């Protein structure tokens, strides 16, 4: 029996596609060697088999772990990764199913990653079927769209997207493997110990942003200035007004304070302005990640994972998009009619459906593959967790808000004269809510109480105060602002930026969650790269490479020329790193040693007060404990027991009951718990009694 074989990216997608295409909506599920696949019928027999994301990867042709390395090839993941043994059986099932197929369809997500996944499976597992295969293109996993995508398959794969994706993967692999091996090898030669160090084409420039900001903060010298403020009473309500200028010297500030002292001032001018606040534009991935961080404090990686789950459940459209456009083809009214059935959205959806026409506010960004992120109108088939509910609600309300008229805000700027010295009062309120009503609680604006204000009107002066301030250093990046900076500088892609930030954390180059600062190890790595191969941490170089890969996608550039240029750059860089290997290794070894100490230092030893309390291991039993850094030298006997399982991290604070240091203990699959190191602490006695 011949059939059409559809390859999908994930098992959930295979299930949805098979269910949508089967004429009865009940495809037959089979499992072979742990691999699920589905048999359906729609004008012919169909078999739908999923991948597990990337089944193929790049590896070096040479077995030695040296550098530079420029000879590479694509191989099944199990040949390159020790923990990918499951992939061997997975690929065999796909290859067996391909033998009896007469038509091949790439049903993976329509983006760079999906295109590569489908292409490599069709090429290597299905016997060079990439040239004859068709391509499904869809932006949601709804039944209607999947049926249309199958019935109107593109006649061939999106080869320009495939070429761009292959180029990106190969260049990123070349940069990552060569630079990471160079750093790791240099550190090993110097210290005699192996520690994995990594960098890459996007990691390096991103770390440089953070390093430059950290240096600005650490070298910042605050400058004093003074603010003169007054509390006044208008209509029996108290308002704070501020002198029109900041004052740079104390003498000048006191002079004006004394001269402005009075019990009665007057309103010298009143200006009233009305302005429109335009609705927000539809969500692209980066904007949604930043909004979710601002509102819910979800990291970009967490938001991406939530969006992927909602997409696979057919509740939202494809999330990895840079588009801020909502074309009419998505069916505004159809989506709104579905949302109308949800009590939380009934009122807003009904109001929009009553409009004579629907036209969304749109942004400038365009993605040729997908529209902006929008709800499909489908509801969850099982209860969502709190985070998923929050993100879904945010997507829905953003979608609703873009169809609504602007809000109108009124601003009153009044000048208050105190002995002819001008103080400023600014008040704002909403006159017409417009889209605010549809986007609550995610829109946050001040609503001031407006008193009656007329020129010449007297006001009571209750207080006149002078306060010293200092200029502040630039703020550290948080995940939201770093994402925005990467986007502005065109570093990484919409789909990779969040993972790059996470990688920098995983490599211990960064510390902090809300305020990202560079660790000693991060400073060591970026210092070496800036000194010996500045080109690889240049945002300009990365931006140019991104432009070239975009040009490949537009058939204006070819893969081989871009790869040749990248390899030539790497030849020069790795030669420089090899020549300075001893010096580089010495610098990195110092950074690694400091990083090791930072991870294990709990605080000042509470007994001797002059050494550090650090995590150590007994030379006899091998058990870990917290002890004074002078413990093994016999200088101080301070020691606390530690849990022998889980990861222990210093909290940088002391127990409120006994004053002993506190640590956090992280156990796999469990929430971290706070632990006072003092086994005799009353907190433990009280816990045992309860």
Q: What are 353-377's pLDDT values in tens digits?
A: 999 999 999 999 999 889 999 999 9
* Residue 35 DSSP SS3: strand
- Name the DSSP class of 125: I
Query: What is the chain's length?
Result: 690
Catalytic residue among 311, 318, 374, 509: 318
Q: How far apart are CA 184 and CA 182, in angstroms?
A: 6
**What pLDDT, on a 0 to 100 scale, did the predictor assign at position 686?**
46
Could you tell me whether strands 45-50 and 3-8 are parallel, antiparallel, or unpaired per DSSP bridges? parallel
Q: How far apart are CA 27 and CA 147, in angstroms?
A: 14
The residues, any chain, with a CB within 8 Å of residue 214's CB and separated by 6 or more, are: 476, 517, 518, 523
**What pLDDT, on a 0 to 100 scale, did the predictor assign at position 688?**
41
Q: How far apart are CA 208 and CA 215, in angstroms?
A: 10
Q: How far apart are CA 137 and CA 462, in angstroms?
A: 68
Q: How far apart are CA 120 and CA 133, in angstroms?
A: 12
Burial of 415 (0-12, 13-18, 19+ CB in 10 A): middle
C-beta of residue 183 within 8 angstroms of C-beta of residue 198: yes
Domains, the chain, in order of start with CATH, read 3-157 (3.40.50.140), 166-218+476-590 (1.10.460.10), 224-279+407-470 (2.70.20.10), 285-401 (1.10.290.10), 605-689 (no CATH)
**What pLDDT, on a 0 to 100 scale, did the predictor assign at position 685?**
52
* Residue 528 DSSP SS3: helix
Q: How far apart are CA 358 and CA 385, in angstroms?
A: 32
Token digits of residue 324: 């801020």
Token digits of residue 107: 């049903």
- Name the DSSP class of 330: G
Question: Closest Cα partner for 567 from 119, 297, 226, 174?
Answer: 174
C-beta of residue 644 within 8 angstroms of C-beta of residue 621: no
User: Strand runs (DSSP E) across 419-457, as ranges?
Assistant: 421-432
- Name the DSSP class of 438: H
HEC sequence for 492-506: CCCCCHHHHHHHHHH
Of all helices (H) and strands (E), which one includes residue 183?
A: helix 159-191
**What pLDDT, on a 0 to 100 scale, did the predictor assign at position 212?**
94
* Residue 591 DSSP SS3: helix
C-beta of residue 476 within 8 angstroms of C-beta of residue 214: yes
- Name the DSSP class of 124: I
Enter the pTM of the model. Answer: 0.87
Burial of 467 (0-12, 13-18, 19+ CB in 10 A): exposed
Long-range contact pairs involving 20-25 (C-beta distance under 8 Å, separation at least 24): 20/141, 20/142, 20/143, 20/146, 20/147, 20/150, 21/46, 21/48, 21/146, 21/147, 21/150, 22/46, 25/143
Q: How far apart are CA 33 and CA 89, in angstroms?
A: 7
**What pLDDT, on a 0 to 100 scale, did the predictor assign at position 633?**
85
The residues, any chain, with a CB within 8 Å of residue 248's CB and separated by 6 or more, are: 225, 226
C-beta of residue 679 within 8 angstroms of C-beta of residue 641: yes
Could you tell me whether strands 601-604 and 224-234 are parallel, antiparallel, or unpaired per DSSP bridges? unpaired
3-state DSSP percent of the chain in helix, strand and coil, to 5: 40, 25, 35
**What pLDDT, on a 0 to 100 scale, did the predictor assign at position 232?**
96
C-beta of residue 127 within 8 angstroms of C-beta of residue 96: no
Region for 460 from its dihedrals, namely left if φ exceeds 0, alpha if ψ lies in -120 to 50, beta otherwise: beta
Could you state, in chain order, the average pLDDT of each consecutive group of 10 residues for the chain (690 residues)? 94 96 96 96 96 95 88 96 93 96 96 94 97 96 96 95 94 94 91 85 92 94 96 93 95 96 96 96 96 95 96 96 95 96 96 96 92 95 94 98 97 96 97 96 93 94 96 94 91 88 91 88 92 89 87 90 92 92 91 82 84 86 88 87 86 83 83 84 55
Q: How far apart are CA 670 and CA 140, in angstroms?
A: 34
Token digits of residue 112: 């760079």
- For residues 82-117, one letter each, b for 16 or more C-beta atoms within 10 angstroms of the residue's C-beta and e for the rest, the string is eebeebeebbebbeebbeebebbbbbbbbbbbbbbb
DSSP per-residue string spanning 230-260? EEEEETTEEEEEEESS-BSSHHHHHHHHHHH
- For residues 360-377, one letter each, b for 16 or more C-beta atoms within 10 angstroms of the residue's C-beta and e for the rest, the string is bbbbebebebbbbbbbbb
Catalytic-residue membership of 318 = yes
**What pLDDT, on a 0 to 100 scale, did the predictor assign at position 684?**
63
């Amino acid at each position: 029996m011949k059939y059409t074989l559809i390859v999908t990216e994930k098992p959930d997608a295979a299930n949805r596609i098979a269910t949508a295409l089967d004429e009865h909506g009940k495809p037959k599920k089979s499992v072979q060697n742990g691999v699920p696949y589905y048999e359906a019928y729609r004008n012919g027999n169909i078999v739908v088999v999923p991948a597990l994301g990337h089944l193929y990867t790049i590896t070096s042709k040479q077995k030695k772990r040296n550098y530079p390395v420029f000879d590479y090839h694509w191989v099944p993941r199990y040949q390159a990764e020790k923990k990918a043994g499951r992939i061997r059986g997975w690929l065999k099932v796909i290859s067996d199913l391909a033998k009896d197929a007469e038509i091949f369809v790439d049903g993976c997500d329509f983006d760079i990653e999906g295109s590569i996944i489908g292409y490599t499976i069709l090429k290597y597992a299905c016997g060079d079927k990439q040239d004859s295969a068709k391509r499904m293109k869809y932006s949601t996993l709804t039944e209607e769209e999947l049926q249309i995508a199958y019935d109107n398959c593109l006649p061939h794969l999106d080869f320009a997207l495939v070429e761009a994706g292959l180029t990106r993967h190969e260049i990123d692999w070349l940069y990552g493997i060569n630079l990471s091996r160079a750093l790791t090898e240099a550190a090993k030669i110097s210290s005699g110990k192996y520690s994995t160090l990594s960098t890459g084409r996007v990691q390096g420039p991103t770390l440089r942003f953070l390093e430059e900001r950290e240096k600005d903060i650490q070298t910042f010298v605050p400058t004093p200035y003074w603010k003169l403020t007054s509390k006044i009473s208008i209509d029996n309500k108290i308002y704070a007004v501020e002198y029109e200028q900041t004052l740079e010297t104390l003498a000048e500030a006191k002079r004006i304070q004394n001269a402005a002292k009075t019990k009665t001032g007057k309103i010298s001018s009143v200006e009233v302005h009305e302005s429109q606040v335009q609705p927000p534009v539809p969500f692209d991935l980066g904007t949604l990640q930043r909004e979710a961080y601002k509102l819910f404090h979800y990291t970009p990686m967490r938001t991406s994972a939530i969006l992927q789950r909602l997409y696979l459940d057919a509740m939202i459209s494809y999330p990895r998009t840079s588009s801020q456009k909502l074309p009419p083809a998505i069916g505004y009214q159809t989506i709104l009619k579905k949302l109308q059935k949800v009590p939380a959205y009934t009122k807003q959806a009904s109001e929009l459906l009553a409009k004579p026409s629907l036209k969304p506010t749109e942004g400038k960004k365009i993605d040729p593959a997908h529209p902006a992120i929008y709800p499909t109108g489908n509801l969850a088939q099982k209860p969502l967790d709190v985070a998923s509910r929050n993100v879904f609600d945010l997507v829905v309300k953003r979608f609703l808000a873009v169809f609504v008229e602007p809000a109108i805000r009124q601003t009153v700027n009044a000048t208050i004269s105190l002995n002819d010295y001008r103080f400023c009062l600014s008040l704002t309120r909403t006159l017409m809510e417009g889209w605010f009503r549809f986007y609550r609680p995610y829109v946050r604006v001040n609503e001031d109480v407006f008193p009656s204000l007329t020129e010449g009107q007297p006001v009571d002066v209750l207080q006149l105060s002078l306060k010293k301030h200092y200029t502040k250093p630039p703020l550290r990046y948080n995940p939201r602002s770093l994402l925005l900076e990467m986007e502005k500088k065109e570093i990484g892609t919409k789909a990779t930026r969040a993972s790059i930030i996470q990688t920098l954390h995983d490599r211990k180059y960064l510390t902090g969650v809300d305020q990202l600062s560079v660790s000693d190890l991060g400073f060591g790595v970026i210092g070496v790269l800036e000194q010996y191969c500045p080109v690889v941490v240049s945002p300009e170089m990365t931006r140019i490479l991104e432009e070239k890969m975009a040009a490949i996608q537009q058939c204006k550039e070819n893969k081989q020329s871009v790869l040749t240029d990248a390899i030539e750059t790497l030849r020069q860089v790795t030669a420089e790193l090899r020549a300075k290997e001893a010096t580089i290794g010495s610098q990195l070894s110092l950074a690694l040693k400091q990083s090791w100490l930072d991870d294990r230092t709990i605080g000042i030893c509470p007994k001797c007060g002059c050494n550090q309390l650090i995590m150590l291991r007994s030379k006899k039993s091998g058990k870990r404990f917290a002890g004074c850094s002078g413990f093994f030298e016999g200088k101080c006997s301070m020691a606390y027991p530690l849990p022998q399982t889980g990861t222990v991290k210093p909290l940088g604070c002391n127990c409120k009951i006994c004053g002993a240091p506190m640590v956090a203990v992280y156990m796999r699959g469990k929430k971290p718990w706070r632990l006072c190191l003092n086994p005799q602490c009353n907190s433990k006695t009280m816990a045992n009694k309860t």
